[in-house]
Amino acid sequence: MIRVKKFGVLQTAKVAAIIYVFISLIIILPFAMLGSMVSEEFFPELADFGVVALLMVPIMYGVIGFIFTAIGCVIYNLIASFTGGIEIEMETAQD
């Protein structure tokens, strides 16, 4: 058994933030493009919404993902100091 006793808060939060940015880009790209096409046709005053969403949503997801992952790591580290952490059973791959 391997035991996860502690997470590096900043490193884990950085990795999670980058993952959140990529996930939000995958989700927001189609909606932003569709929003730009629809708003240009029917709501010209909202034509720039797609571009703004394309820029702001991934940044917001990254920042929020960083903050909440850091908070989660700190909470895990506190709880793991009392409980010993999560146990993981691993084995080496047999080729």
| Distance from C-alpha of 13 to C-alpha of 8, rounded to nearest angstrom | 8
Residue 91 included in any domain: no
On whether the pTM is more than 0.85, the answer is no
- Could you give the number of structural domains in the chain? 1
Residue 95 included in any domain: no
Q: Give the model's confidence band at 55: pLDDT under 50 very low, under 70 low, under 90 confident, else very high.
A: confident
Residue 37 included in any domain: yes
Residue 41 has pLDDT above 90, yes or no: no
DSSP assignment of 32-87, as one string? HHHHHHHHHHH-GGGTTHHHHHHHHHHHHHHHHHHHHHHHHHHHHHHHHHHH--EE
Residue 65 included in any domain: yes
Summarised one tens digit per residue, pLDDT across range 9-31 is 999 999 999 999 999 989 887 87
Give the pLDDT score at 27: 86
| Distance from C-alpha of 26 to C-alpha of 70, rounded to nearest angstrom | 23
> 38 vs 69, which has greater pLDDT?
69
DSSP assignment of 14-33, as one string? HHHHHHHHHHHHHHHHHHHH
Burial of 88 by CB count in 10 Å (0-12 exposed, 13-18 middle, 19+ buried)? Answer: exposed
Give the pLDDT score at 52: 72
Q: What is the mean pLDDT of residues 34-44?
A: 67
Residue 30 included in any domain: yes
Residue percentage of the chain with pLDDT more than 70: 81
Residue 69 included in any domain: yes
Residue 43 has pLDDT above 70, yes or no: no
Residue 42 included in any domain: yes
Give the pLDDT score at 92: 86
Q: Residue 69 belongs to what domain range?
A: 2-84
